A and B are shown apart, each in its own frame.
Chain A
């Protein structure tokens, strides 16, 4: 109780995401709570998050490779797709849970003041915890295919992860705040999540867009931070395993930083809207 006692504070007005950083211990406990609650009463517990991506990988391998013969166009197609799929998985879990986070913590929001940004941010962390097992499955699959990345490619993967996390936080703040007033938001987000797999080169490769659409369409396509992250993941985990010549999108690191800029923009917009609406959360949720 040092100098905080000397100045007056305005209750209910915080410093937004900065407060989340200041109260990171509470954030950690909320993330832990979410994980505990998610796996309560389940024998396998967190091991489920290994089983699911493994099954997903096997399905991609057999269904797309043997039934649809995608391997004729994309070498190491299962690795190609899986490295994109886990980006989408991370993004959609983070974004849709963040959208619901304020409403599902209504009991707390109504009764105790705490930085409400904690809830969407915690959702993104929980999604990141679930992302880890998927990454391990991906790494195992990559190593089996003779993976030998260089340091820039690993940096690209890290950049891709950060882009997705920041985008999901920003959009999650935005949609989470709107969802308090209009529960339609969570349905709209669910719908977007169906589309997002197809607005990025996850199940096809980017040269198809170049072939089919005008150059300005491709530019817009590449401004999508999720697309950028998917391409960075391809570069990091799939490209080093490929022996034949394949064409990567040009200037990957440059588009990477543009993607990071877009993600930061989403974060700023999300934070501004969140703060505008936050004052009414307790009475409307």
Chain B
């Protein structure tokens, strides 16, 4: 059995263009394409690594190091300019907990919508619905519109949906910024369970203590390149040394 995620020679460049006007582009074309219409910025440069099935891997680095870009590339939200990403099995990319939630829909409707967005079938959602609600511990408010939820309730429900989607590969940005301490413990236990079931987890977080506890391996990024790759606690130590 091969790797669950293969990343090879990945390069991603962003255009720093913020005007969305045809006029400016036409003017630029009329002037004979003089100068760069856009400034370019290399978010990732020649990044390669593999993740084995069942592994829990943390992507580490300071702000702007390219972690989230990498996660977006693995989930398919953005495409690389060079290099390849290959994944095996169902991927649930959760770049932000609760990204697909709509404030004007009830909790129940949001559970269905989000579970479907994350790739569950109608039948799977119906089977899991009670578990999801029970996990979130907000049964009482499930038919209330989400805009009336507290931020804690919102995150609980969003996280509950995400962990019940049963993907083979689970990608999460800032997974651990969820709820109060008892709920965080519950989430960590759930993550452990997912990983024990042989699911692959790729996590981005700034909570280094948490990472060294739950992750097998760490990949440290800095200015868009891989600086260190190894056991999670060593990766955390490596990063802390340079702090």
A114 at the interface (CB under 8 A from B): yes
Contact A26 B20 (CB under 8 A): no
Partner of B100, one of A5, A7, A112: A112
C-alpha gap A279/B99 in the complex (Å):
20
Contact B21 A4 (CB under 8 A): no
A107 at the interface (CB under 8 A from B): yes
Main secondary structure of the interface of B (DSSP, over half): mixed
C-alpha gap A196/B76 in the complex (Å):
38
B75 at the interface (CB under 8 A from A): yes
> Considering only CB atoms, which chain B residue lies closest to A181 in the complex?
B20
Partner of A110, one of B25, B77, B86, B121: B77
Contact B78 A279 (CB under 8 A): yes
Contact A11 B85 (CB under 8 A): yes
Known: A111-B99, A283-B14. A26 touches B75 (CB 8 A): no
Known: A10-B85, A11-B75, A33-B109. A112 touches B117 (CB 8 A): yes
Contact B79 A113 (CB under 8 A): no
C-alpha gap A178/B148 in the complex (Å):
36
Partner of B99, one of A4, A33, A107, A283: A107
Q: How many B residues touch A, CB cutoff 8 Å?
A: 41
Contact B72 A282 (CB under 8 A): yes
Within 8 A of A (CB), among B88-124: 88-91, 93-96, 99-100, 102, 104-105, 109, 112-113, 116-118, 121-122
A211 at the interface (CB under 8 A from B): no
A25 at the interface (CB under 8 A from B): yes
- The A/B interface has a contact count, at CB < 8 Å, of 106
> Considering only CB atoms, which chain A residue lies closest to B12 in the complex?
A283
Residues of B within 8 A of A30 (CB): 113
A245 at the interface (CB under 8 A from B): no
Within 8 A of B (CB), among A89-131: 107-114
C-alpha gap A29/B84 in the complex (Å):
33
C-alpha gap A133/B109 in the complex (Å):
25
Residues of B within 8 A of A5 (CB): 88-89, 168
Residues of B within 8 A of A37 (CB): 102, 104-105
Q: Can you spell out 25 A-B residue pairs with CB atoms less than 8 angstroms apart?
A: A1-B89, A5-B89, A5-B168, A6-B88, A7-B88, A10-B86, A11-B73, A11-B75, A11-B85, A12-B75, A12-B76, A12-B78, A13-B79, A26-B117, A29-B112, A29-B113, A36-B105, A36-B109, A108-B99, A112-B99, A112-B100, A182-B20, A182-B22, A184-B21, A279-B79
Task: Give me the interface of A with B, judged by CB distance under 8 Å.
Answer: 1, 4-13, 23, 25-26, 29-30, 32-33, 36-37, 40, 107-114, 181-184, 279-280, 282-284
